[in-house]
């Protein structure tokens, strides 16, 4: 803790910061953070945590009160929007990641849709989604279309169920500038997204798990599509946070 106190003494000078710590320590320090960070623009949280460890929910991440933050990467295990005092409307990069076991059932496609509709300036968005077939989702007709006019990179990692929830999420998005799309999921639960891809007139690159590659292409990709597709090796796939952002 002495190291953390020393580190936090430099907080007023931070512009770009990356924290890697056990979840419990990460939440403890950040929820009691009371230093001013007027220059902070990008923040990235990463954790190492035992599968059996329990995380007690504490207060908000006060470090995120900086008015300049435009980029955040955060583990799904601690992604509670109500505890993140961000200026959502100025975010250009949003990543919700972490290992599958750490992603709570609260991170449904419905919940994520409600978050990203508050982020109209997004350029890059990478999300873990934890939907199950038994989840009761709000019908898509009740959601207005969410327009992200500047988003060029979008990645979705489906922890369990892919359809119908993810297809509901994607079909409620207007992404006129999307150029790079990545999806991880299961072949047994792969949605048909032909209408979604038909609207992506600028799409250049598509990355898909090798386990769903063939069936996904056959059912979802228009025959007229000319963009580049890459089947990913499921056993060696990158984490969502490892994809390089476009400038």
Quickly state the pLDDT bin for 8 (edges 50, 70, 90): confident
Q: What is the DSSP string of 203-221?
A: --EEEEETTTHHHHHHHHS
The secondary structure of residue 237, as a DSSP letter, is P
- Cα(first)–Cα(last) distance of the chain, in Å? 36
Quickly state the pLDDT bin for 212 (edges 50, 70, 90): low
Based on its alpha-carbon atoms, the radius of gyration of the chain, rounded to whole angstroms, reads 18
98-103: long-range contacts, CB 8 A cutoff, minimum separation 24: 98/47, 98/128, 100/128, 100/159, 101/51, 102/23, 102/47, 102/49, 102/75, 102/76, 102/77, 103/76, 103/77, 103/128, 103/130, 103/159
Q: Per-residue pLDDT averaged across 97-126, rounded? A: 89
* pLDDT of 149: 97
Q: Is 155 helix (H, G, I), strand (E, B) or coil?
A: strand
Q: Per-residue pLDDT averaged across 218-237, rounded? A: 50
Query: What's the predicted TM-score (pTM) here?
Result: 0.82
| Cα–Cα dist 175/154, whole Å | 9
* pLDDT of 87: 93
Judged against a pLDDT cut of 80, whether residue 189 lies above it is answered with no
Quickly state the pLDDT bin for 236 (edges 50, 70, 90): very low
Q: What is the mean pLDDT of the chain?
A: 77
Q: Per-residue pLDDT averaged across 172-189, rounded? A: 84
Judged against a pLDDT cut of 90, whether residue 94 lies above it is answered with yes
Task: Categorise residue 225: left if φ over 0, alpha if ψ from -120 to 50, beta otherwise.
Answer: beta
| Cα–Cα dist 26/1, whole Å | 11
Going from N- to C-terminal start, the domains of the chain cover: 28-48+61-242
Judged against a pLDDT cut of 50, whether residue 61 lies above it is answered with yes
| Cα–Cα dist 62/196, whole Å | 38
What is the number of alpha carbons within 13 Å of residue 57 lying toward its C-beta?
10
* pLDDT of 233: 45
Q: Per-residue pLDDT averaged across 195-206, rounded? A: 86
Residue, of 56 and 104, whose pLDDT is higher: 104
Q: Per-residue pLDDT averaged across 138-146, rounded? A: 67
Judged against a pLDDT cut of 80, whether residue 238 lies above it is answered with no
The Cα angle at residue 86 between residues 80 and 87, in degrees rounded to 5: 140
Q: Is 233 helix (H, G, I), strand (E, B) or coil?
A: coil
Strands 153-158 and 146-147: unpaired
Quickly state the pLDDT bin for 53 (edges 50, 70, 90): low
- Percent of the chain scoring above 90 in pLDDT: 27
* pLDDT of 126: 96
* pLDDT of 122: 98
Element (H, E) at 129: strand 124-129
């Amino acid at each position: 803790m002495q190291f953390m106190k020393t580190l936090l003494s430099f907080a007023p000078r931070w512009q770009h910061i990356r924290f890697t710590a056990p979840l419990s320590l990460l939440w403890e320090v950040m929820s009691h953070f009371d230093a001013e960070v007027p220059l902070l623009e990008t923040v990235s949280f990463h954790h190492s945590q035992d599968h059996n460890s329990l995380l007690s929910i504490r207060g908000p991440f006060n470090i995120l009160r900086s008015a300049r933050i435009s980029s955040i990467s955060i583990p799904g295990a601690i992604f509670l929007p109500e505890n993140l005092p961000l200026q959502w409307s100025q975010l250009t990069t949003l990543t919700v990641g972490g290992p599958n076991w750490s992603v709570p059932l609260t991170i449904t496609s419905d919940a994520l849709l409600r978050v990203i509709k508050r982020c109209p300036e997004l350029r890059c968005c990478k999300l873990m989604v934890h939907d199950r077939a038994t989840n009761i989702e709000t019908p898509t007709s009740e959601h207005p279309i969410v327009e992200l006019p500047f988003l060029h990179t979008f990645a979705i990692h489906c922890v369990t169920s892919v359809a119908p929830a993810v297809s509901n999420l994607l079909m409620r998005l207007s992404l006129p500038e999307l150029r790079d799309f990545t999806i991880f999921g299961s072949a047994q639960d792969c949605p048909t997204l032909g209408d979604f891809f038909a609207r992506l007139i600028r799409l250049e690159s598509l990355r898909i798990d090798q386990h769903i590659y063939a069936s996904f292409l056959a059912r979802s990709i228009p025959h007229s599509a000319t963009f580049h597709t890459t089947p990913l090796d499921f056993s060696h796939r990158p984490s969502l946070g490892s994809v390089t952002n476009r400038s």
